[in-house]
Amino acid sequence: MGDDAPTALDLPPVDPLPEHTQAYFDLCAEKIGMVPNVLRAYAFNIAKLDAFSAMYNELMLADSGLSKLEREMIAVVVSSENRCYYCQAAHGQAVRELSGDPELGEQMVMNYRAADLSDRQRQMLDFAVLLTRESASVSESHREALRSVGFSDRDIWDIASVAGFFNMTNRMASATDMRPNREYHSRNR
Residues that bind a second copy (CB under 8 A): 8-11, 44, 47-48, 50-52, 54-55, 58, 62, 80, 82-85, 88-89, 102-103, 106-107, 109-111, 113-114, 127, 131-132, 135-140, 143, 153-154, 156-157, 159-161, 163-165, 167-172, 174-177, 182, 185-186, 189
Nearer to a second copy, 26 or 118 (CB): 118
- Spatial CB neighbours of 166, under 8 Å, sequence gap ≥ 6: 74, 75, 78, 79, 82, 84, 87, 91
- Report in angstroms how near the CB of residue 22 gets to a second copy at its nearest: 21
- Report in angstroms how near the CB of residue 6 gets to a second copy at its nearest: 12
Nearer to a second copy, 20 or 157 (CB): 157
C-alpha span between 6 and 115 (Å, rounded): 32
Asked if residue 61 lies in contact with residue 68, where contact means CB atoms within 8 angstroms, the answer is: yes
Q: Is 130 exposed, middle or buried (0-12, 13-18, 19+ CB in 10 A)?
A: middle
- Spatial CB neighbours of 15, under 8 Å, sequence gap ≥ 6: none
Nearer to a second copy, 30 or 103 (CB): 103
- Report in angstroms how near the CB of residue 40 gets to a second copy at its nearest: 14
Nearer to a second copy, 14 or 26 (CB): 14
Asked if residue 73 lies in contact with residue 109, where contact means CB atoms within 8 angstroms, the answer is: no
- Report in angstroms how near the CB of residue 111 gets to a second copy at its nearest: 4
Q: How far is the CA of 119 from the CAs of 129, 146, 147, in angstroms?
A: 15, 10, 12
Nearer to a second copy, 25 or 127 (CB): 127
